[in-house]
């Protein structure tokens, strides 16, 4: 299944970008442009004609996910074992990382012949963070497991007597004569994606937040025909899980500068003055879908949801609304989203956070504010969000993909 292959390959944002390019370039032609910045990617399909009425139809998702990143000097040893010390990225559910088969992957930066080079790697060994046995933690089932992220998440990677340092293992990935300068390596759930449930109606996988959204966008983009006048834009942004204020994030100039570049290249090729309409004016009349996963109501904890706004697995695309503007959705963008759903027979449901609980956010508010573009926040319902292994519904992914195809129709 292509979707599972994508999930299994996308073990870091850098790998996600490579997997997206592979998926999208199968339909690459003269009318499609790609722009890459680290762990972020923007794909733009040009319209059949550009004119003063040409606008942008943008779908956004993020390529990153909560994880454990290996620190620059990670090595320690105790009890006959060498361990690696990680730094927390985002807000992972700590307990879910225990007793798991963990892979490692990322980007290496090195010097060779005076030149700076990079290499994407994925190790073929498995590491582990073992949980303390119940016999040595007698109250764990009554009091709950408490994980100290500084002391309890060191990953066991080899026995004493093996490689001296983890950096030596990374060095061995490089060409002869190369010198490792730096690395961005993270751990990931090594278990492959698979179907679950008695009817195979669910998907179990790591990184569904937000690779599921990335895949839906890419799948729809691949199958959508060029629009008559509007630009089709798929934006895959990095670093949402840590606030988006990076050069690859939603708070950067990446998307805006890319749109400026593509528009400038078109208007310079035409003599029609009407085509020189500024970007800001076009964006104000454009539309963006900010797509990130949504909290499905947990059957064992229904009290954690606002009773009238509790999305369920299999119930359709989730519209996310928040009066504190943690989501970009507003009355205008909500109405437009609902109209697309109704015209294409796509079921949707609405999520509102309880007043006594804080609300998360997405790339939507940052993009909407910086571009001045009407934006709606939507997503697929899921369980176990930010666990190392998450859960969604097959039908909801299909509905999200259909929504995107309708958006770009």
Reported as a pLDDT band with limits 50, 70 and 90, residue 280 is: very high
- Residue-level pLDDT at 65: 98
Within its chain, how far is the Cα of 202 from the centroid?
Answer: 19
Reported as a pLDDT band with limits 50, 70 and 90, residue 275 is: low
What domains sit in the chain, N to C, each tagged with a CATH number? 2-65+206-407 (3.40.630.10), 67-189 (2.30.250.10)
- Residue-level pLDDT at 29: 65
Mean pLDDT value across residues 339-359: 96
pLDDT > 80? residue 267: no
Mean pLDDT value across residues 101-121: 98
Two tokens, residue 406? 């309708």
| pTM higher than the cut 0.75 | yes
Residue 128 is given by DSSP the state B
Compute the CA torsion angle 255, 261, 265, 267 (nearest 10 deg): 80
* CA dist., res. 168 & res. 166, Å (int): 5
Two tokens, residue 397? 């992914």
* CA dist., res. 99 & res. 121, Å (int): 24
The strand pairing partners of 204, in sequence order, are 194, 391
Lowest mean pLDDT among 237-241, 318-322, 358-362, 373-377: 358-362
**Tokens 């804080």 correspond to what residue?**
358
- Residue-level pLDDT at 72: 97
Torsion angles phi and psi, residue 205, rounded to 5: -170, 160
- Residue-level pLDDT at 125: 96
pLDDT > 60? residue 270: no
* CA dist., res. 241 & res. 66, Å (int): 7
Torsion angles phi and psi, residue 20, rounded to 5: -65, -40
* CA dist., res. 147 & res. 281, Å (int): 51
What are the Cα distances from residue 369, in Å, to 15, 251, 328, 329, 335? 29, 9, 9, 12, 19
* CA dist., res. 93 & res. 153, Å (int): 12
Closest CA to 392 of 204, 158, 235: 204
- Residue-level pLDDT at 161: 75
- Residue-level pLDDT at 277: 84
- Asked whether the CA dihedral 275, 279, 280, 286 is positive or negative, the reply is positive
CA angle 191, 194, 197 (to 5 degrees): 125
- Residue-level pLDDT at 163: 66
Two tokens, residue 41? 């990617």
β-strands 381-383, 294-295 pairing: parallel
pLDDT > 80? residue 107: yes
Number of alpha carbons in the 13 Å side-chain half-sphere of residue 370: 17
Lowest mean pLDDT among 1-5, 28-32, 197-201: 28-32
Mean pLDDT of the chain: 94
What are the residues whose beta carbons fall under 8 Å from the beta carbon of 159, sequence distance 6 or more?
A: 80, 81, 82
Q: Where are the alpha helices (DSSP H) in 131-233?
A: 140-143, 166-171, 208-223
**Tokens 């679950």 correspond to what residue?**
196
* CA dist., res. 190 & res. 137, Å (int): 27
- Residue-level pLDDT at 21: 95
What are the residues whose beta carbons fall under 8 Å from the beta carbon of 192, sequence distance 6 or more?
A: 4, 7, 8, 205
Q: Where are the alpha helices (DSSP H) in 98-195?
A: 140-143, 166-171
Strand order of the β-sheet with 390-393 is 194-196, 202-205, 390-393, 381-383, 294-295
């Amino acid at each position: 299944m292509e979707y599972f292959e994508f999930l299994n390959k996308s073990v870091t944002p850098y790998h996600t970008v490579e997997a997206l390019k592979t998926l999208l370039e199968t339909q690459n032609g003269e009318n499609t442009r790609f722009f890459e910045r680290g762990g972020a990617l923007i794909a733009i399909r040009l319209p059949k004609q550009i004119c003063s009425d040409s606008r942008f139809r943008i779908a956004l998702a993020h390529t990153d996910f909560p994880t454990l990143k290996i620190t620059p000097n990670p090595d320690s040893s105790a009890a006959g074992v060498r361990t690696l010390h990680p730094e927390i990225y985002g807000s992972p559910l700590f307990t879910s990382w225990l007793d798991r088969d963990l892979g490692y992957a990322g980007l290496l930066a090195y010097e060779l012949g005076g030149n700076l080079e990079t290499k994407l790697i994925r190790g073929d060994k498995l590491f582990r963070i073992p949980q303390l046995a119940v016999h040595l933690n007698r109250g764990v089932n009554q009091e709950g497991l408490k994980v100290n992220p500084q002391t309890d998440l060191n990953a066991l990677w080899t026995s004493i007597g093996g490689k001296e340092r983890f950096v030596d293992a990374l060095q061995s990935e490089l060409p002869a004569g190369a010198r490792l300068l730096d690395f961005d390596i993270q751990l990931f759930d090594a278990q492959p994606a698979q179907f679950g449930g008695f009817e195979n109606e669910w998907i179990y996988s790591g990184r569904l937040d937000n690779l599921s959204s990335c895949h839906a966008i890419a799948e729809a983009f691949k199958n959508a025909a060029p629009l008559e006048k509007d630009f089709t834009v798929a934006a895959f942004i990095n670093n949402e899980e840590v606030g988006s204020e990076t050069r690859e994030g939603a708070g950067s100039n990446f998307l805006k500068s890319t749109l400026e570049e593509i528009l400038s290249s078109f208007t310079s090729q035409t003599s029609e003055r009407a085509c020189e309409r500024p970007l800001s004016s076009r964006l104000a009349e454009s539309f963006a879908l900010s797509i990130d996963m949504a909290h499905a109501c947990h059957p064992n904890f229904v009290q954690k949801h606002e009773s009238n706004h509790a999305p369920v697995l299999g119930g359709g695309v989730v519209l996310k609304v928040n009066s504190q503007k943690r989501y970009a959705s507003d009355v205008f963008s909500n109405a437009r989203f609902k109209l697309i759903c109704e015209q294409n027979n796509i079921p949707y449901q609405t999520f509102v956070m309880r007043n006594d609980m804080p609300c998360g956010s997405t790339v939507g508010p940052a993009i909407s504010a910086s571009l001045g573009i009407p934006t709606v926040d939507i997503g697929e319902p899921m369980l176990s969000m930010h666990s190392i292994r998450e859960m969604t519904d097959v039908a909801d992914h299909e509905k999200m993909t259909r929504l995107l195809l309708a958006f770009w129709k």
